[in-house]
Amino acid sequence: MKALLAAVLLGAAACGMAQEGPHPTGSITVFAAASLTDAFKTLGLRFQGQHEAVTVDFNFAGTPTLVTQLENGAQADVFASADGTNMDRLKSDGLTAGDSRVFAHNKLEIVVAPGNPRHISSLADLAMPGVIYVAAGPSVPAGKYAGQALAKAGVKVTPRSLETDVKSVVSKVELGEADAGIVYTTDVKAAGDKVAGVAIPDQYNVTATYPIVVVKGAPNPSLAQAFIDYVLSTAGQAVLASYGFQPA
Amino acid sequence: MGSSRPERAPAWIAVLAALGAAFFIVPLVGLVVRTPWADAWSSLTAADTVEALRLSLIASLSSTAVALVLGVPLAWVYARVEFPGKNVLRALTTLPMVLPPVVGGIALLLAFGRRGLVGQWLDGAFGITLPFTTAGVVFAETFVAMPFLVLTVEAGLRSMDRRFEEAARTLGARRWTVLTRVTLPMIAPSLAAGAVLCWARALGEFGATITFAGNFPGVTQTMPLAVYLLLETNPEGSFILSLVLLLVSLAVLVGLRHRWLGSA
């Protein structure tokens, strides 16, 4: 039975490869959530390394910004979202080709200055007087998740600024303008020793789900699909894991 | 300007000129056509919009006031005093007119942010921090808009007939009296034009504001920030607010037509 299943899977994989054609070529544009910036840049380089004469261009921004750009006619081949809501919005606009696939998960963390000078150890500490807390805006997935985590913990705190994407939250803390923010664990990791992270317990934490899809009217749909297959492959998942993402 | 007599444009000039004009007019038409007029009133009176409008008015008028208090003396120095390095200084203080505003915002952060050159001292000595405050918005807007006032007032001071000041002085008027009773009234049109230009630029400021002051409704979220963010959640609302800003700009231009468009 197992052998049969393996044979069927192998056959399916072979068919998939045959459909793609041996060498997808040309270029694709990938619209990806800001939190994917570093991981996707590496994925793009590796993908280009595997395929001759292939170029992958990226546009990184807050997920709702990307959807707005696509709605207004921006040309893209692949869309990688930081939540299901924005993916659904693009789908209901009729701008997706085929079904989206989940390719990664992420968790939240509190980002603070190196050495945690304000001694922030929990979500409740964000509401301490004098602590400047910033978040991504409520339409940005990271901002929505941050709000959910605070609600689960029963913490009421008003952000001093609603940033347009999650990377801006990190940079506000990095510059010392803000004392703390809620971002993805991957963002804390990406910023290296310029910031520090404070873990959020599982009972309050929120899991972010990242779906990816071929954009309807993509100039290069076959290469777009090849890129998505690569992201979902063992090699692609290993790259994502090295940036702190959890597997699909 | 000379005795230019009207002539017929050659066909290729007419075509390119028409394209050039269309380039500006088509986007404006697009905005007007796509604006959902039925929802206009409810969008304009939505709580967030009212708050953004109120904040924009407060911040832009405050920065115009700051620009008048600091900019008019600066213009006077440029117009009347000779000193080494004056041209370099004028160039530096005019820079925000051509500088990408977001760069201005970063520069402001590095100077007046909590860790900035001056900012860390402000924070340490007085507990004053500017980012994420309305005062920060005023800072950002003044930084970007004041050069418009300075240059306009300087031009006014240079072109005025100084014999009136000399006459007043020979009649025994003190310097303060000459300034307030002769100089400033004589350059009143330049002062008004400079203030209006400065105000309009402050009202439209986006890049430096979001970079330096952040974005929070009622505190730092001005009209342009609200327009930008609404595009993601409520595009129709952002069209309406865009139209409001468009009408304000048009009103400014019409008000200044004698200075800019000639008196044709």
What distance in Å separates the CA atoms of residue B38 and residue B63, rounded to the nearest whole number? 35
Q: Which of A172-181, B44-53, B97-106, B179-188 has the lowest mean pLDDT?
A: B44-53
What pLDDT sits at residue B20? 96
DSSP string for residues in B119-133: HHHHHHHH----TTS
Residue B29 has pLDDT above 90, yes or no: yes
CATH of the domain at A153: 3.40.190.10
Cβ burial of A74 (10 Å; 0-12, 13-18, 19+) is middle
Residues of B in contact with A62 (CB under 8 A): 232
If pLDDT is split at 50, 70 and 90, which confidence band does B259 have? low
Residues A38 and A63 in one domain: yes
Q: Which residue has the higher pLDDT, B237 or B52?
A: B52
Q: Nearest CA of chain A to the CA of B216: how many Å?
A: 5
Does A218 lie in the same domain as A98?
Answer: yes
Q: Are residues A96 and A17 in the same domain?
A: yes
Instruction: Please check whether residue A115 lies inside any domain of the structure.
Output: yes
Among B67, B64, B89, B65, which Cα is nearest to B77's?
A: B89
CA distance A136 to A134: 7
Residue A3 clears pLDDT 70, i.e. is over it: no
From residue B238, how far is each of A144, B85, B178, B207 by CA, in Å? 21, 46, 49, 17
Whether A182 is in a domain gets the answer yes
The residue type at B225: L
- Range of lowest pLDDT (A171-185, A216-230, B95-109, B220-234): B220-234
Report residue B34's pLDDT band, with 50, 70 and 90 as the boundaries: confident
Q: Are residue A119 and residue A81 in the same domain, yes or no?
A: no
Under 8 Å between Cβ of B207 and B201: no
Instruction: Tell me the percentage of chain A whose pLDDT exceeds 70.
Output: 91
- Whether A208 and A105 have beta carbons less than 8 Å apart is answered as yes
Dist CA A29 CA B88 (whole Å):
44
Question: Does A41 share its domain with A66?
Answer: yes
- Establish if A67 belongs to a structural domain: yes
Query: Average pLDDT of A154-170?
Result: 94
> A197 or B232, which is more confident?
A197
Beta pairing partners, A213: A79
Q: Are residues A96 and A213 in the same domain?
A: yes
pLDDT at B109: 93
Indicate if A68 and A119 belong to the same structural domain.
no
Nearest by Cα to A32 from A4, A65, A1: A65
Does residue A40 share a domain with residue A161? no
Write out pLDDT tens, residues B93-137: 999 999 999 999 999 999 999 989 999 999 989 989 999 999 999
Residue, of B81 and A8, whose pLDDT is higher: B81
Lowest mean pLDDT among A109-118, A226-235, B215-224, B226-235: B226-235
The shortest CB-CB distance from B109 to any of A64, A159, A175 is to A175
Does residue A204 sit within a domain?
no
Please report which confidence band the pLDDT of residue A173 belongs to, taking 50, 70 and 90 as the band edges: very high
Cα B109 from chain centroid (whole Å): 20
Mean pLDDT of B215-244: 89
Look up the domain containing A159 and give its range: 108-199
What pLDDT digit, counting tens, does each position of A78-92 carry?
999 999 999 999 999
Q: Which of B114, B219, B229 sits opposite A176 (nearest CB)?
A: B114
Q: How confident is the model at residue A19 (pLDDT cuts 50, 70, 90)?
A: very low
Q: Which of A161, A163, A164, A171 should one mutate to test binding to chain B, selecting the residue with the greatest count of B CBs within 10 A? A: A161
Report yes or no: A171 at the B interface, CB cutoff 8 Å: no
Q: Following DSSP, what letter does each residue of B170-205 receive, concatenated?
A: HTT--HHHHIIIIIHHHTHHHHHHHHHHHHHHHHH-
CATH class of B61-220: mainly alpha
Q: Is the pLDDT of residue A14 over 60?
A: no
Query: A97-101, B81-85, B258-262: which range is least confident on average?
Result: B258-262
Give pLDDT, residue B3: 57
Chain A and chain B share a number of CB contacts under 8 A equal to: 54
Average pLDDT over residues B80-101: 95
Whether residue A8 is contained in a domain is answered as yes
Q: Best interface-test mutation with A: which of B31, B215, B239, B242 has the largest number of A CBs within 10 A? A: B215
Task: Note whether A150 and A123 are same-domain residues.
Answer: yes
As given in the structure block, the two tokens for residue A154 are 């029963």
Q: How confident is the model at residue A115 (pLDDT cuts 50, 70, 90)?
A: very high
For tokens 């009176």, the residue is B45
- pLDDT bucket at B264, cuts 50 / 70 / 90: very low
User: A162 and A144 in one domain?
Assistant: yes
Which of A78, A87, A82 is closest to A43 using CA atoms? A78
Average pLDDT, chain A: 90
**How far is residue A32's CA from residue A190's CA, in Å, rounded to a whole number?**
16
Q: Say which amino acid occupies A233.
A: S
A214 found inside a domain: yes
Indicate whether B261 pLDDT > 80. no
Sign, CA torsion A211/A215/A221/A224: negative
Residue A123 counted as domain residue: yes
- Predicted structure pTM score: 0.81
| Contact indicator for A134, A172 with CB cutoff of 8 Å | yes
Task: Tokens for A55, please give them.
Answer: 């170029």
For tokens 């069927």, the residue is: A8
Residue-level pLDDT at A22 = 55
Mean pLDDT, rounded, for B75-97: 95
Asked whether residue A131 carries a pLDDT value surpassing 60, the answer given is: yes
* DSSP, residue by residue, B133-145: SHHHHHHHHHHHH
Q: In what order do the strands lie in the sheet with A196-199?
A: A162-163, A133-136, A180-184, A108-112, A196-199
> Comparing C-alpha atoms, which of A212, A245, A219 is closest to residue A107?
A245
**Which residue in A has a C-alpha nearest to residue B235's C-alpha?**
A68
Residue pair B64/B195 in contact by the 8 Å Cβ criterion: yes
User: At residue A58, does pLDDT exceed 70?
Assistant: yes
Q: Across the interface, do A134 and B132 touch by the CB < 8 Å criterion?
A: yes
Using DSSP's 3-state secondary structure scheme, residue B52 falls into: helix
Put simply, whether A163 touches B (Cβ < 8 Å) is yes
- Higher pLDDT pick, B1 / B69: B69
3-state SS string for chain A: CHHHHHHHHHHHHHHHHHHHCCCCCEEEEEEEEHHHHHHHHHHHHHHHHHCCCEEEEEEEECHHHHHHHHHCCCCCCEEECCCHHHHHHHHHCCCEEEEEEEEEEECEEEEECCCCCCCCCCHHHHHCCCCCEEEECCCCHHHHHHHHHHHHCCCCCCCCCEECCHHHHHHHHHCCCCCEEEEEHHHHHHCHHHCEEEECCCCCCCCEEEEEEEECCCCCHHHHHHHHHHHHCHHHHHHHHHCCCEEC
Nearest to B57 by CA among B193, B200, B210: B200
Residue A38 pLDDT greater than 80, yes or no: yes
Are A177 and A232 in the same domain?
no
Over 90: is that where the pLDDT of A152 sits?
Answer: yes
Highest mean pLDDT among A229-233, B47-51, B165-169: A229-233
